């Protein structure tokens, strides 16, 4: 990431940085809350190296910790072409009887093409359409009970930068301890650091905990390819905020409590449902909000997040919240201090 410049906020090159490959975490920290925590003061840019279990030092009674309790489905399916070649399918979102998915290799997988699954004699994936992104396809799972088939044949959808096959430990560790509502193609990774005991400890100190749902899908996965980031098109993702959560947030704001978003998915949801006149609004729908520098935050006071891929919409959101120059300095520090990056990596608190 280059130096802050108003005219350069929209340049994709601003969001690139050098990351030694060995800093990409291949396995999660054990236990969860032993991850490192890079705490960054939003106003001064001061940086503190801490451990995630120290999080309570930065929270106060009356604050609200907002969690995304989406649950990852075993969305990675390994199939075979009619010609015998291997195909990998990542199910992103169910739309009626069809799925939005990423497939690879995708070149010859046109509408009408069928993919077979060794060991599951009748089950097939039928390609029904193409989507406006590399590898994007619509498909139907046929000749099977969808939910049973996915549960039995599906693999935990570890990101491609985790260069190993999924293992038994991932079924637990690539979920948050509070995951409830199935439907996500990736974990809301900022929440992976929490243990049940840490949450109880924070609540015992007077911190409220509220939940919402955003199922991670194409909006998070789609890479930014245009040099002017304003031209990037975010795909919509499903969210749901219940009345209890909306009431908790509005009550906290009225009493001077701070809203701490656990992850970029929570930020995008809260900023989507916030109304200047009425505050936080319960409801459900689709959001395609794209947050980058220049955005004025209304619904979030602090952010817990992981370290994100260069050039990603997630890094742009963090840069909007913290400032591009301060974000650049924080990431440089994290690299120099050998923090672990991406989904199974360490955490960052912006306060």
What is the per-residue pLDDT across 244-268, written as a single tens digit (0 to 9) for each?
Answer: 999 999 999 999 999 999 999 999 9
pLDDT in tens, 177-202: 999 999 999 999 999 999 999 999 99
* pLDDT digits 0-9 by tens, 67-91: 999 999 999 999 999 889 999 999 9
Segments of the chain assigned to CATH 3.40.1780.10: 6-72+171-350
The whole-number average pLDDT for the span 94-109 is 94
Categorize the per-residue pLDDT at 223 as very low, low, confident or very high, splitting at 50, 70 and 90: confident
DSSP class per residue in 112-124: T-EEEETTEEEEE
Pairing of strands 86-95, 98-104: antiparallel
Q: What is the pLDDT of residue 4?
A: 46
pLDDT reading at 210 higher than 60: yes
> Quick one: which H or E segment has residue 187?
none
Q: Half-sphere exposure (CA, 13 Å, Cβ side) for 224?
A: 27
Residue with tokens 């590399």: 134
* Tens-place pLDDT, residues 285-315: 999 999 999 999 999 999 999 999 999 999 9
Give the chain's mean pLDDT: 96
Domain 76-153 annotated CATH 2.60.40.10:
no
Percentage of the chain beyond pLDDT 90 is 93
Say whether pLDDT at 121 is over 90: no
Q: What does the alpha-carbon distance between residue 263 and residue 92 come to, in Å, rounded to a whole number?
A: 19
- Mean pLDDT calculated for residue range 93-119: 95
pLDDT top residue among 107 and 315: 315
Has residue 108 got a pLDDT over 70? yes
| Cβ contacts of 194 within 8 Å, gap of 6 or more | 32, 33, 67, 176, 177, 178, 262
Residue 1 pLDDT level (bands cut at 50, 70, 90): low
State the greatest distance between any 2 C-alpha atoms of the chain, in Å, as a whole number.
64
Where are the domain boundaries for CATH 2.40.10.240 in the chain? 76-153
Residue 82 has what pLDDT? Answer: 87
- pLDDT over 60 at 5, yes or no: no
Q: What is the pLDDT of residue 2?
A: 45
Residue 6 has what pLDDT?
58
Residues belonging to the chain: 351
Backbone angles phi, psi at 334, to 5 degrees: -60, -40
Q: In 10 A of CB 15, how many CB atoms?
A: 27
Q: How far apart are CA 265 and CA 220, in angstroms?
A: 9
Percent of the chain, pLDDT > 70? 98
- Closest listed residue to residue 125, CA positions, set 80, 187, 61: 80
Q: Are 344 and 50 in contact (CB under 8 A)?
A: no
Indicate whether 139 pLDDT > 90.
yes
**pTM for the full predicted model:** 0.95
CATH topology of domain 6-72+171-350: QueA-like (3.40.1780)
User: How far is the CA of 198 from the CAs of 44, 56, 187, 195, in angstroms?
Assistant: 28, 9, 19, 5
């Amino acid at each position: 990431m280059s130096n802050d410049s108003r005219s350069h906020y929209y340049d994709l090159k601003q969001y690139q940085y050098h990351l030694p490959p060995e800093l990409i975490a291949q396995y999660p920290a054990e236990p969860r809350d032993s991850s490192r925590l890079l705490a960054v003061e939003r106003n001064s840019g001061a940086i503190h190296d801490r451990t995630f279990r120290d999080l309570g030092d930065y929270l106060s009674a009356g604050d609200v910790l907002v969690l995304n309790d989406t649950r990852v489905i075993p969305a990675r399916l390994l199939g075979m072409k009619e010609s015998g070649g291997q195909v990998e399918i990542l199910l992103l979102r169910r739309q009626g009887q069809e799925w939005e998915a990423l497939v690879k290799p995708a070149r010859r997988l046109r509408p009408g093409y069928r993919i077979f699954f060794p060991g599951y004699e009748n089950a097939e994936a039928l390609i029904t359409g193409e989507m406006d992104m590399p590898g994007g396809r619509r498909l139907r799972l046929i000749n099977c009970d969808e939910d049973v088939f996915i549960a039995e044949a599906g693999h935990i959808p570890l990101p491609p930068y985790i260069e190993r096959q999924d293992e038994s430990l991932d079924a637990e560790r690539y979920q948050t301890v509070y995951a409830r509502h199935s439907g996500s193609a990736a974990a809301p990774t900022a929440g992976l650091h929490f243990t049940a005991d840490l949450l109880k400890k924070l609540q015992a100190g007077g911190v409220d905990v509220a939940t919402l749902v955003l199922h991670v899908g194409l909006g998070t996965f789609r890479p930014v390819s245009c040099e002017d980031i304003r031209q990037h098109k975010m795909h919509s993702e499903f969210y749901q905020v219940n009345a209890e959560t909306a009431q908790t947030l509005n009550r906290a704001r009225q009493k001077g409590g701070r809203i701490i978003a656990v992850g970029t998915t929570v930020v995008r949801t809260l900023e989507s449902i916030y109304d200047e006149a009425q505050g936080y609004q319960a409801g459900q729908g689709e959001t395609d909000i794209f947050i980058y520098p220049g955005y004025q935050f209304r619904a979030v006071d602090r952010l817990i997040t992981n370290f994100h891929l260069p050039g990603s919409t997630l890094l742009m959101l963090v840069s909007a919240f913290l400032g591009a120059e301060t974000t650049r300095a924080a990431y440089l520090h994290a690299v120099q201090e050998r923090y672990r990056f991406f989904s199974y990596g360490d955490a960052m608190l912006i306060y």
